Amino acid sequence: MFFLGWQAFPDMRLTQIYKNIDEMSGKLTPQSYKVRVENSKFEEALLELPDDILTGEGKPYVSIHFRKGEGVRIVIENVLSEYASLFSYIEDYVKFSGISKVQNPAEFKEIIDKGKVDFYSEEKDSLIVRAWDPEKEEKDDNYALFYLDKKNWVIKRAVYYVDGTAFIEAENSYKKFGQYYLPFKIVLTSLNDNSQDIFNLKEYVFCD
């Protein structure tokens, strides 16, 4: 892996960024995993689950299921299978972190192929790209800035804009789990009122 002169080769930058992401994902992200997620809102919602949907195999808890090529799913464990996806509406909320954009490089390639990402700027330890929703036709003032760590090619920070104004920020903290480099905390901050939502990721299970 090598670094280009990022400012000098505009047509090649995104291709090289994708190659770096793909290479490091192959080394640092398992083919699939599941991980327990602790979050105060989840805990409150779990207390409201009716007893007749519980399996009796343990207390219900929320986990992220990840697989390359598919991305992330939010699953409630220890409930009947037909209720396991009750919290699936939160998947897009968790995706604000941007972690699956690099753990599942196909997602990053999609926004390149659809012309919905461009190089934004560079800092000492990060490259910053600006990305738009690949399902929308236009590139407007609704976008995200992804801060890519130049060592491990993961997204450490993401800032989302609506009408050109930042409204939510994600800070992702990573560490090594065996041979893999994975997030252990995601902090989402609403920039309107400075409120925070914290997701702690624990007990990784690798499913290679």
Q: In the numeric block, which tokens belong to residue 9?
A: 């080769």
Q: Residue 208 class from Cβ within 10 Å (0-12 exposed, 13-18 middle, 19+ buried)?
A: exposed
Q: What is the mean pLDDT of residues 42-57?
A: 90
- Cβ atoms 131, 116 nearer than 8 A: yes
pLDDT of residue 2: 44
Interval 99-129: pLDDT, tens:
888 888 888 888 888 889 999 999 999 999 9
CATH number of 10-206: 2.50.20
65, pLDDT greater than 70? yes
For the question of whether the overall pTM of this predicted structure is more than 0.85, the answer is: yes
Distance CA 152, CA 24 (A): 6
Q: What is the pLDDT of residue 178?
A: 92
Q: Is the pLDDT of residue 33 over 60?
A: yes
Domain ranges of the chain: 10-206
Q: Is the pLDDT of residue 147 over 90?
A: yes
